Amino acid sequence: MTLANFNPSEEKIKIAIVAGEKSGDHLGGPLIQEIKKLFPQSVFIGLGGEKMQEQGLKSLFNMEEIAVMGIIEPLLNLRKLLKLRKKLKDYFLKEKPDLFIGIDSPDFNLPISRYLKNNLSIKTLQYVSPSIWAWRSGRIKKMELSIDAVLTLFPFEKEAYSNSSIVAHYIGHPLAYEIPLLDKSNINEGIGDQEKLAKKIALLPGSRKSEVTLIGNVMVNAAILIKHKYPDVTFLMPLASEEHKQLITNNNLSEFIQFSYGNSKEILSQSDLAVITSGTATLEALLYKTPCVVVYKTGWLSYKLIKPLLKIKNFSLPNLLAKKELLPELLQEQVTPQNIADELENIVNNKEINFHDEFRLIHESLRAGGSVKAAEVIKGLLN
């Protein structure tokens, strides 16, 4: 759409927007809020959760209906997902929006983007880049047929589009604003000696049952090893739900592991060290200035499928952001109780890295404009 001599306060802009899961809804809510400041008469249609609906989105159906993750689960729900996507396509074609924004969920959203570009000739935007920097980089050519621009959360993602027709805009990560620029004692300044490792160590096995099953008990066994050597250490394990505690098979834990539910951020903020399954929680640990051992383990079939496609040396967000091995990583068969215990000691005994200063620099760099900058990009696409 081209707006000649347009006044944003008077234009009624219709924006189609789709978020496929809760994290996308948390991005979409503030984005809609900022767009409305530039276009007070704007209308939002599509798919989203509570945060987006609070800002005025008219959601066609419940977002949870397409919230499937991983490799196998989407295949098992393929017929349902295709039906729901067609419903959205038909709806948008009838409503004729001026712009389409897909928030994350690229496998679901990119085909919608391409369909609307071909049938309505509108501008399309992907908010959160697919992991082309990590694996399946060839996807970018197909993406060029679907979207005009992408909003990236991390600076290294923008670099992946340097030779593409897709215009990448680095806007930073919302967590960098939600979590204050805290000052915290550096873990390797005087705390590590032969008698003392740390006061509190957080154990975060992940938010999915499969992650807790594969990794939770390994973390517990690592804690047992550490407790024998450092009796004063307290372990904190925040789980997504009480149901997940049943997946921890060692029953003699109440003496030194404190379980809690749905409060991982609070636990990370008060911990000295952590062991974390790779994901957003490692970024939260960085922002709370809590050094961690990053672990990742998946089913053997999924790992066999993914491993040949990977093109990165490090897989954790802190190391990717630092562009070096800032924190120890353990992958698949490396995830053992002894290795975890050893790497925790290595963090404390590392005199070459000031974790606090490294984390603070990254934290500051992730405050790159957020939803305010994203709304300005969208304004530019509408002009």
On whether the CB atoms of residues 190 and 196 are closer than 8 A, the answer is no
Q: Given 3-state DSSP classes, what are the helix, strand and coil percentages for the chain, each rounded to the nearest 5? A: 45, 15, 40
pLDDT for 310 equals 58
CATH number for the region 200-365 comes to 3.40.50.2000
pLDDT in tens, 87-103: 999 999 999 999 999 99
Q: How far apart are CA 131 and CA 162, in angstroms?
A: 15
pLDDT for 297 equals 86
Domain borders along the chain are 14-172+368-382, 200-365
Sheet strand arrangement including 292-296: 257-261, 234-239, 200-204, 273-277, 292-296, 329-331
DSSP state of 135: B
pLDDT for 338 equals 97
User: What does R_g of the chain's alpha carbons equal in angstroms?
Assistant: 22
Q: How far apart are CA 62 and CA 64, in angstroms?
A: 5
Answer yes or no: same fold for 14-172+368-382 and 200-365.
yes
Q: How far apart are CA 135 and CA 51, in angstroms?
A: 31
pLDDT for 1 equals 45
pLDDT for 351 equals 85
Handedness of CA 197, 203, 204, 209 (dihedral sign): positive
Query: What are the residue ranges in the chain where pLDDT is below 70?
Result: 1-11, 64-78, 133-137, 186-196, 251-254, 299-312
CA atoms within 13 A on the CB side of 73: 8
pLDDT in tens, 312-356: 677 899 999 999 999 999 998 899 999 999 999 999 998 889 999
Q: 16: which strand partners?
A: 45, 100
| pLDDT above 90 as % of the chain | 63
CATH number for the region 14-172+368-382 comes to 3.40.50.2000
